[in-house]
Amino acid sequence: AQSVTQLGSHVSVSEGALVLLRCNYSSSVPPYLFWYVQYPNQGLQLLLKYTSAATLVKGINGFEAEFKKSETSFHLTKPSAHMSDAAEYFCAVSERRDDKIIFGKGTRLHILP
């Protein structure tokens, strides 16, 4: 069965510092992996996705993630945090194209001035 584990329900970084949000997945088949962002009182927005092409995936707003099969990880990074990055971030996995998505519990990112 698919599952996603996000390490740290809350992460705080200073403005301008590196953002690193950790995600490990479990899947019985080569997975499709996603990072979604949710701003307060808004819907989910796709940041980036891995679909078996390049292992380093670039997304919107300067975020990127690297698929590491040996570590079953898909960590999200951004070189320099901005105040506008404060939000809830969800890592997610799907076993088939167009299939249901299994989400992690989320990590709330706080940006310190």
Per CB under 8 A, residues contacting another protein are 4, 9, 32, 36, 42-46, 49, 51, 90, 92, 94, 97-98, 100-106
48: helix, coil or strand? strand
Closer of 17 and 108 to another protein (Cβ): 108
Dihedral Cα 77, 18, 108, 46, nearest 10 deg: -30
Closer of 17 and 101 to another protein (Cβ): 101
The residue written with tokens 């950790």 in the block is 22
> Which strands sit side by side in the sheet containing 64-68, from one edge to the other?
3-7, 19-26, 73-78, 64-68, 56-58
The least CB distance from residue 80 to another protein, in Å, is: 26
The least CB distance from residue 28 to another protein, in Å, is: 17
Closer of 96 and 113 to another protein (Cβ): 96
Sign of CA pseudo-dihedral 46, 52, 53, 56: positive
The least CB distance from residue 68 to another protein, in Å, is: 20
